């Protein structure tokens, strides 16, 4: 009976020990001295697109999904709502508010754990952006490339472990080497602690009666940034990163049972109250720390750990092709054939969402080149959420006038100008529509996007390079009359 009890007790101890190992794996500050070591590597959270999400080609104003996979390939636990995913060019897809543009991880992304057989993979989560739809300028003739850009920001830690020599004499020891580079291990992450160098090692005070001898350890620690992405201080929020770039924070140092954090650690390592460590242009950094170890009665090896924390920011992009409108829109003959009041019938007969301010006006299905200027203006107003500002001078090119205008607020207060220097960077000084060549007062007008007809700057007399001032790119192709890169 006693033998059975002992066997049961042994099984219980083994089971509890296994559970504790797993619990330690979920604790980012769990003791490394009792672990099986580190998996190692240079990755933290790895982001990728899932399958055909987004697809390689999409229709205009037709929904598609973007699904992001987040996988923890490092050795630090990331908790729910720690990873911020921001769709940075969401305006191309009709998104504006944080609720539409930002997602967070709902579940913890646990770190990888080393085992006797290899390692247990880290946590994986899918972050979706459902029902996106391209809503930029109409694509009329051929596929147009459009990028999907996601900024991924998350907090992460890197920890290094080494067995260092603690001595009384500081110059030689029969137990260990007091000067030099002890063998160290570093957890996987975008920051690597590459070297720990013992510069000084020996007693700084001695009290034989109290047995309170103290040894000073002077350690130089080297780090480097690996892989892609940017670093920010861990105290910097992901939604307001600011200028605190290429910085990590010294989180803590332990020597055996002695733990150094906060102000004490900042003073010991000359890192200030925020314990910030800056990286140079080559992605390298180093600090020198003076750590005092009490109760050194003899030479011995001691476990040393060091942890740095930081925000890691990476950009993930994917280019999709937007198909021409004729392939993607519901057919119509007039606005009443479209789904709702927020849509209009675009020439040559497809439904399209009304166009926001700042984008080129559309071409309504009831538009005719034989209409007068006022009627053309009224027809093109139908294509905008507000009004269409016609910029083209009809005396120069009736065909170009048929194609171009800028959707603008209902009441647009145009500033008068006589040269381009009178307008801000995103505007140019335009010839007023219908004014005689080279005469009249100009007005500051939005510059023209690529692949749309060039316009006529104030003072324009004949075709030439001056039309490039009307383009966002600054270049107008004389052969096609379009703004080009």
DSSP string spanning 174-223? Answer: SSS-SSB---EEE-SSSEEEEEEEEEEEEEEE--TTTT--EEEEEEEEEE
CA distances from 148 to 59, 135, 164, 313, 430 (A): 15, 13, 49, 17, 33
Report pLDDT for 339.
Answer: 73
At 404, the pLDDT band (50, 70, 90 cuts) reads: low
Residue-level pLDDT at 18: 44
- Average pLDDT estimate for 386-394: 63
pLDDT value at 418 more than 70: no
Specify the DSSP element, H or E, that contains 158.
strand 144-166
Exposure on the CB side of residue 310, measured as CA atoms within 13 A: 28
- Whether the Cβ atoms of residue 207 and residue 330 lie closer than 8 Å to each other: no
Which among 301-305, 414-418, 435-439, 441-445 has the top mean pLDDT? 301-305
pLDDT band at 315 (very low <50, low <70, confident <90, very high): very high
| pLDDT value at 6 more than 80 | no
By DSSP bridging, strand 84-87 and strand 258-260 are: unpaired
Write the pLDDT tens digit of every residue in 326-373. 555 677 888 888 877 888 887 767 787 788 776 677 778 887 767 766
Q: What is the chain's mean pLDDT, rounded? A: 79
CB 126 within 8 A of CB 68: yes
| 174 against 19, higher pLDDT | 174
Q: What is the pLDDT of residues 33-48, one digit of tens each?
A: 345 689 999 999 999 9
Q: What is the CATH number of domain 45-153+316-321?
A: 2.60.40
Residue 447 has pLDDT above 50, yes or no: yes
pLDDT for the residue 396: 42
E-only strand ranges, 243-386: 247-255, 258-260, 276-278, 284-294, 300-322, 343-346, 350-353
How many residues does the structure list for the chain? 485
Q: Count each helix (H run) and each strand (E run) in the chain, helices first.
A: 6, 27
Q: What integer pLDDT is reported at residue 227 of this predicted model? A: 85
Distance CA 384, CA 359 (A): 9
pLDDT at 209: 52
Structure-token pair, residue 20: 């504790």
Q: What pLDDT is attached to residue 183?
A: 83
Domain ranges of the chain: 45-153+316-321, 155-312, 329-412, 414-485
Distances (CA, A) of 437 to 58, 170, 419, 430: 43, 89, 15, 12
* Mean pLDDT confidence for 231-239: 92
**Residue-level pLDDT at 435:** 45
Which pLDDT band, with edges at 50, 70 and 90, does 431 fall under? low
For 380, phi then psi, to 5°, come to: -75, -25
Instruction: Return the pLDDT at 410.
Output: 64
Confidence of residue 478 (pLDDT cuts 50, 70, 90): low
Q: Is pTM beyond 0.85 here?
A: no
Residue 419: C-alpha distances to residues 12, 416, 470 (Å) = 86, 10, 12
Least confident of 2-6, 348-352, 399-403, 412-416: 2-6
pLDDT recorded at residue 434: 45
- pLDDT at residue 34, as a whole number: 43
Provide the 3-class DSSP secondary structure of residue 345: strand
pLDDT tens figures, 281-294? 999 999 999 998 88
pLDDT of residue 194: 94
pLDDT (0 to 100) of residue 277: 94
- The CA dihedral of 339, 95, 364, 388, to the nearest 10 degrees, is 130
Taking the alpha carbons at both ends of the chain, their separation in whole angstroms is 88
Between residues 420 and 43, the one the model is more confident about: 43
Please tell me the predicted confidence (pLDDT) of residue 22.
39
Q: What is the predicted pLDDT for the residue at 144?
A: 85
**Higher-pLDDT residue of 319, 479:** 319
The tens digit of pLDDT for each residue in 188-203 reads 999 999 999 999 888 8
Question: Which tokens in the block code for residue 311?
Answer: 């925000």
Q: Is 171 helix (H, G, I), strand (E, B) or coil?
A: coil
Distance CA 343, CA 338 (A): 6
Query: So what's the pLDDT on residue 84?
Result: 97
**Confidence label for 452 from pLDDT (cuts 50, 70 and 90):** low
Percentage of the chain beyond pLDDT 90 is 36
Query: Among candidates 439, 441, 481, which has minimal Cα distance to 464?
Result: 481
> In this predicted model, what pLDDT tens digit does every residue of 203-230 receive, in sequence order?
876 665 545 688 899 999 999 999 889 9
Cα angle for residues 10, 15, 16 (degrees, 5° grid): 100
Structure confidence at residue 151 (pLDDT): 95
Question: Could you write out the three-class secondary structure of 233-249?
Answer: CCCCCCCCCCCCECEEE
42, HSE (Cβ side, Cα atoms, 13 Å): 8
What's the mean pLDDT in 57-77? 90
């Amino acid at each position: 009976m006693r033998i059975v009890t002992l066997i049961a007790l042994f099984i219980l101890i083994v089971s509890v020990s296994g559970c504790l190992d797993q619990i330690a794996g979920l604790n980012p500050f769990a003791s490394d001295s009792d672990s099986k070591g580190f998996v190692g590597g240079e990755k933290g959270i790895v982001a990728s697109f899932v399958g055909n999400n987004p697809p390689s080609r999409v229709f205009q104003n037709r929904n598609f999904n973007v699904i992001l996979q987040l996988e923890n390939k490092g050795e630090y636990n990331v908790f729910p709502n720690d990873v911020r995913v921001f769709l940075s060019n969401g305006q191309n897809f009709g998104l504006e508010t944080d609720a539409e543009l930002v997602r967070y991880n709902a579940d913890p992304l646990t770190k990888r754990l080393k085992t006797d057989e290899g390692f247990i993979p880290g946590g994986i989560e899918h972050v979706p952006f459902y029902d996106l739809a391209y809503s930029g300028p109409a694509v009329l003739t051929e596929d147009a490339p459009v990028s999907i850009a996601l900024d991924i920001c998350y907090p992460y830690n890197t920890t290094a472990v080494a067995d260092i020599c603690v001595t009384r004499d500081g110059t030689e020891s029969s137990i260990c080497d007091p000067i030099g580079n002890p063998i160290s291990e570093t957890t996987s992450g975008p920051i690597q602690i590459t070297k720990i160098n013992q510069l000084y090692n020996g007693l700084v005070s001695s009290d034989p009666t109290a047995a309170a001898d103290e040894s000073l350890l002077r350690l130089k620690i080297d780090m480097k940034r690996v892989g892609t992405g940017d670093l920010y201080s861990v105290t910097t929020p992901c939604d307001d990163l600011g200028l605190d770039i290429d910085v990590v924070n010294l989180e803590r140092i332990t020597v055996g049972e002695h733990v150094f954090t906060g102000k004490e650690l900042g003073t010991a390592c000359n890192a200030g109250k925020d314990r910030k460590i800056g990286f140079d242009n080559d992605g390298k950094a180093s600090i020198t720390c003076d750590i005092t170890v009490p109760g050194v009665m003899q030479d011995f090896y001691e476990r040393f750990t060091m942890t740095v924390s930081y925000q890691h920011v990476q950009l993930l992009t994917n280019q999709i092709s937007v198909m021409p409108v004729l392939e993607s829109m519901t057919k119509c003959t007039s606005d009443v054939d479209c789904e709702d009041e927020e849509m209009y019938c675009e020439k040559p007969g497809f439904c399209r969402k009304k166009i926001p301010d700042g984008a080129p006006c559309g071409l309504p299905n009831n538009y005719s080149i034989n209409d007068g200027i006022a009627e053309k203006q009224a027809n093109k107003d139908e294509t905008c959420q507000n009004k269409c500002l016609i910029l083209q001078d009809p005396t120069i090119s009736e065909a170009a006038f048929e194609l171009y205008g800028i959707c603008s607020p209902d009441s647009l207060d145009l500033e008068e100008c006589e040269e381009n220097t009178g307008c801000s960077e995103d505007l140019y000084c335009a010839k007023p529509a219908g004014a005689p060549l080279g005469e009249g007062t100009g007005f500051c007008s939005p510059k023209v996007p690529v692949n749309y007809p060039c316009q006529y700057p104030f003072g324009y007399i004949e075709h030439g390079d001056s039309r490039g001032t009307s383009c966002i790119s600054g270049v107008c192709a004389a052969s096609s009359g379009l703004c080009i890169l």
